[in-house]
């Protein structure tokens, strides 16, 4: 695929307006689209020790959090240990997909109020470990 600036391979095509694949079911076509993406990500690695994925885009509401969460679920259900960190401090949303509060997380660790382990949670469903963004500190 050529976007005018750089060549980037297309690793998967995810339909628009997909929500939490745990809600849709693991046998849904949406879950299959994420399994294809997972497989293509694994095969496209130049080094097998590379094991981190960042999901980003230029605009709000483009599906970064949903994509990251759904990929984490697919990787976890394939037997991999998965750590998800919601580093979106302005509009955090991954905690909602896991039905968890956002009152503890990354900001607690960054402000040295909690250790990394105390800032994380082990949800009942995948991913294996989750760190919410946490509450924003008040500005004085």
Over residues 108-119, the pLDDT tens digits come to: 999 999 999 999
Q: What is the mean pLDDT of residues 126-131?
A: 88
pLDDT, averaged across the chain: 87
Over residues 85-124, the pLDDT tens digits come to: 999 998 899 999 999 999 999 999 999 999 999 999 998 8
Q: What is the pTM of this model?
A: 0.83
Question: E strands along 4-127, which residues?
Answer: 83-85
Domains of the chain: 21-131 (3.40.50.300)
Over residues 40-58, the pLDDT tens digits come to: 999 988 888 888 888 888 7
Burial class (CB in 10 A: 0-12, 13-18, 19+), 49: exposed
């Amino acid at each position: 695929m050529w976007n005018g600036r750089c060549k980037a391979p297309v690793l998967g095509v995810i339909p628009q307006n997909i929500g939490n694949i745990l809600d849709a079911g693991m046998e849904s076509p949406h879950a299959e689209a994420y399994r294809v993406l997972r497989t293509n990500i694994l095969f496209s690695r130049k080094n097998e020790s590379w094991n981190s994925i960042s999901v980003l885009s230029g605009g709000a509401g483009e599906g970064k959090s949903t994509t990251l969460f759904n990929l984490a679920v697919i990787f976890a259900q394939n037997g991999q240990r998965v750590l998800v960190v919601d580093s979106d401090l302005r509009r955090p949303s991954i905690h909602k997909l896991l039905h968890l509060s956002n009152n503890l997380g990354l900001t607690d660790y960054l402000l040295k109020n909690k250790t990394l382990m105390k800032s994380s949670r082990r949800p009942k469903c995948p991913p294996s470990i989750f760190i919410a963004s946490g509450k924003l500190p008040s500005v004085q």
